[in-house]
Chain A
Amino acid sequence: MTVQSVPPATQQSTAPDLVPVDLDGVVLHARRGESLAACLAGAGVVALRTTRTGAERGMFCGMGVCQDCLVEVDGRANMRACMVKVDRPLRVRREAFGRPPPTAMIGAAPKTVDDMPVLRPDVLVVGGGPAGLAAALAARRAGADVLLLDERSALGGQYFKQPAVSSGVRVDGQHETGRRLVEAVREAGVTVRSNALVWGAFTPLEFAADIEGSTARLCPRAAIIATGAYERAWAVPGWTLPGVMTTGAAQTLWRTAGRLPGKRVLIAGNGPLNLQLATELLAGGATVVAVVESASAPSPAGIGDILRLTMAAPGLAAEGLRMVAACRRAGVPMIHESHVAAIEQGEDGLLARIGGRHGQVLEADIVCLGYGFVPSNDLLRAIGVPHAPAAGGYHLETMRDESGATDIAGLFSVGDCTRIAGARVAQAEGALAGFAAARHLGLALSADARTEEARARSASNRHHRFQRALWSLYRPTIQAPPSDSGTILCRCEEVTLGDVEAAFAEGLVAAGAIKRRTRLGMGRCQGRYCAPALEALLDTRQPRVHDEYSGFAPRVPVKPIRIADLARPMDAP
């Protein structure tokens, strides 16, 4: 690991947009507003904590899901570096497993649920990405009082990734579209709370949230869940090494803070997001070692898909061509029908063994893995909305009608948290659910709103067609990552494939029993990465019913929640 040499802290004050961050005694410069993870990446710091077994870990998901980038911030243990915004000088320590708790705390009176303020908006929207923004805007324009809660410090979600710093980000059309949508949401009069994690969902229609470190209950008349998706695990040997991160994580560094994840970057996975990251990092001056794609190279056989895709969304198709051309110009090898089979730490960087058609070993500082997405449906599952297994995948999809309505009265589910279909479908679905929620409240839609609704419906259909053609082109030649018995499946509890196979050998067949036996899925991330992997493994063992009950049961809190925050009622609004 290398730490950039930096001037002493006293020189900071001359640059108003730089903020000192003290990492274990070394002062780094953060750009005001960027995430702590971005600041650390900019300084070349990749290893952030050690696990129970002493293994080093760094940022992996970059979006608050994997719980691997834990550091101590201003004396508070186990903070996610990717979710900490640097808006003031920080003292940061690398985190170690199971450190002693702070002492000399003052006792506080026990609280009851009735101590917590209850917010009762007409419509609660959870998630500030394309789906949530569109839903909030539609419901608000239809006359509803709308509260939007988003876990991040800035709206936009994982697609619109808004710039967090005043300079250094190359703003493009995707940013601009997002900025305009966010602006429209605010101008329409939606109440927005950022840094607001909705961590629990309870029947009939109640939610619990941590809003900037205090607790509130939400009892809306209607709720729209738009919590998006996170990247699917690619559990190969070495995927937990510092410097291995998701494609989305690297993209967040670049698009929100203008930070490169490293100098030499290998990008591997399936789908166009990897290509987009390659062009962005190239523009930022990184060396893209290669783009390793598990699908085949486009061939004449794919012409039908290309035509369908171009007709559905000509702008996106052109964007795709532009990205391919940019990579070609820069001489980035495009390695098709291949995948990352293993990663190890070499002398001068990470060594990625490429499997598939074009086997080879590639060296890079950073390896990005982008092998598709899994819906963040934890709130929907916790409240009891029925789910069904995704066709050809090992995650669940939410059952709902075309307006997003679930079988719980007043509860809607839209975008990638329901079914993976990308940002544009999500945005269209959000609008449809926003209007449907307004109707649920008894609000009459204006002629304009009905026109907008019809437009959203046709956009949803069109972009579904685009998605079908796109994924037909990008059909992967490999489904599951090649793992060996030493490969870690559960990042949090460091449970290997061999541990799971030992549980199989003891005759255990149920996911819950394997979880209890091996601790797979018992860590901070709540099994988000290992659960689909276990489902896939179980399917290879014996014929069985794969349904919403066959995997892990949903658990609240859906993300860790500090007890002191739980005990602090939010100031009454």
Chain B
Amino acid sequence: MTGANLPNEIGTVVVGGGVLGMCIAGFLAEEGRDVAVLDSGGPAGSNANAGSLHVQMQSRFMRMYPEQVPALESALHFYPKAVAFWHEMERKLGADFGMKITGGLMIAEDHDQLAFLTYKAGRERALGLDAHILDRVELERIAPYLGPSVVGAELCANEGKLNPLQANAALRNWAVAGGALIVDDATVSEVRRDASGFRIQAGDRRIRAGTVVLAAGAGSRPIAAALGLPLSIEAEPLHVNITEPVAPFIHHMIQHADRPITLKQFASGHVVIGGGWPAHRAGPRDHPTVELSSLIGNATLAQHIAPAVGQLSIIRTWAGINTTTDGKGILGPVDGIPGLFVAIPGDAGYTLGPFSARLVADSVLGRTPSEDIASFTPSRFGGGR
């Protein structure tokens, strides 16, 4: 059920209808809990996602936030499990997410970059990933579309891609079929505690709930702050390009050791080019808006890496909102505020989405999550009561 039939009181309110919120609602509904998802309906993270399933450490984050590498490494084992969990969800729902685990290549254009990848792959292997280095000759066998400047690459076999349009729709329908309420045009302005739980203000609607899960990415921050819970997260508007469809020729997800890019081809034939080029928010509604410098820089870098891409036309660009954390997810119950949970997955949040949702849903259900999430606590940024 969706939309208008929202009761005044409900067991659990999930704030944010992205991949996290939708999965948590589905998991709770499966257990017979009454749950509503309130979503602002605007362009955000999951609904603007480009469908990369990341496993290896992204060089972009290692460059931007070198101090976060230890945190990244401590959560690295989540990533292959998260990709496997996506598979499990696809099977469980009997849906087609357009998912392909064809491996991810992080390319190097000189020997310093290759040395960096060699070191990185070694660390990742030690942490359980299937990662190794390919030289130019080996690369040409599996990725003949790469340009002449590429000298080698790290291949991480656990990586892949899916089509977020298909996945999001299937997850939503599953949650609705399970009995979750989805309200699409409900921007939560405030969550307040009261004697029996929480009062949630969403537009002119007011709902009481015993449990609240904040799963609105960077949009969770002001809501949490008003509850006395500081969250160290930032909204990062990012740029995505998509080309006209052609016959499949790029099978891997491609990244670069030293430049921001993800490049992959959907099963639909469209090539999606993104990977961390900036966008900004503009207009009276703070709409994520693309920048010319990102469009030119990102698309021409794609042509440089895979020259055949140059013959394709970009048919559309868009911008979405990534949520950056301190390098790892913010997951689980909030100390001192019974009934309040946070579900913000951290870097490559879409990849981590369903898996992180399972962990948070389990803690909402009073079960022991399959992973120890103590170090992911939302209370780690201070603000204890």
Q: A residues touching B (Cβ–Cβ < 8 Å)?
A: 52, 76-78, 97-103, 105-113, 115-116, 200, 202-203, 206, 208, 215, 217, 384, 506-510, 512-513, 516-517, 519, 522-524, 526, 549, 553, 555-557, 560-564, 566-567
Bound: A561/B302 CA distance, A:
14
Find out whether the CB atom of B184 lies under 8 angstroms from the CB atom of A105.
Answer: no
Q: Contacting A563 at CB < 8 Å: which of B147, B299, B318?
A: B299
Q: For residue B165, which residues in chain A have a CB less than 8 angstroms away from its CB?
A: 516-517, 519
- Which partner residue on chain B sits nearest A549 by CB separation? B285
Q: B residues touching A (Cβ–Cβ < 8 Å)?
A: 1-3, 41, 43, 47, 147-149, 165, 168-169, 172-173, 176, 182, 184-185, 243-247, 249, 259, 269, 282-283, 285, 287, 289-293, 295-297, 299-305, 307-318
Find out whether the CB atom of A98 lies under 8 angstroms from the CB atom of B309.
Answer: no
A-B contact pairs, 24 of them (CB 8 A): A97-B245, A101-B247, A105-B310, A106-B307, A111-B296, A112-B297, A115-B296, A116-B296, A384-B283, A384-B289, A506-B173, A509-B3, A510-B185, A524-B315, A556-B317, A557-B295, A561-B313, A562-B312, A562-B314, A563-B310, A566-B295, A566-B314, A567-B299, A567-B300
Shortest CB distance B276–A (Å): 15
Find out whether the CB atom of A506 lies under 8 angstroms from the CB atom of B149.
Answer: no
Bound: A555/B300 CA distance, A:
19
Q: Nearest 5 A-B pairs (CB), nearest first?
A: A507-B2, A107-B147, A105-B307, A560-B313, A564-B310
Q: For residue A111, which residues in chain B have a CB less than 8 angstroms away from its CB?
A: 296-297, 300
Shortest CB distance A372–B (Å): 26
- Give the secondary structure class of A's interface: loop
Counting residue pairs across A and B whose Cβ atoms lie within 8 Å, the total is 165
A107-B305, A202-B291, A524-B313 given; name 17 further pairs at CB < 8 Å.
A98-B247, A99-B246, A101-B308, A106-B148, A108-B310, A208-B295, A506-B169, A513-B41, A516-B47, A516-B168, A517-B165, A549-B285, A553-B43, A555-B316, A562-B311, A563-B311, A564-B310
Find out whether the CB atom of A563 lies under 8 angstroms from the CB atom of B41.
Answer: no
Bound: A109/B313 CA distance, A:
18
Q: For residue B259, which residues in chain A have a CB less than 8 angstroms away from its CB?
A: 110
Shortest CB distance B329–A (Å): 25
Shortest CB distance B77–A (Å): 32
Find out whether the CB atom of A566 lies under 8 angstroms from the CB atom of B307.
Answer: no
Find out whether the CB atom of B315 lies under 8 angstroms from the CB atom of A523.
Answer: yes
Shortest CB distance B301–A (Å): 4
Find out whether the CB atom of B41 lies under 8 angstroms from the CB atom of A108.
Answer: no
Shortest CB distance B207–A (Å): 18
Given A215-B296, A508-B184, A517-B165: A77 in contact with B291 (beta carbons within 8 A)? no
Given A78-B313, A97-B245, A107-B304: A566 in contact with B168 (beta carbons within 8 A)? no
Shortest CB distance A495–B (Å): 12
Q: For residue B312, which residues in chain A have a CB less than 8 angstroms away from its CB?
A: 101, 562-563
Q: Contacting B304 at CB < 8 Å: which of A98, A99, A110, A517?
A: A110
Find out whether the CB atom of B293 lies under 8 angstroms from the CB atom of A113.
Answer: yes
Shortest CB distance B68–A (Å): 27
Bound: A110/B149 CA distance, A:
12
Bound: A521/B274 CA distance, A:
21
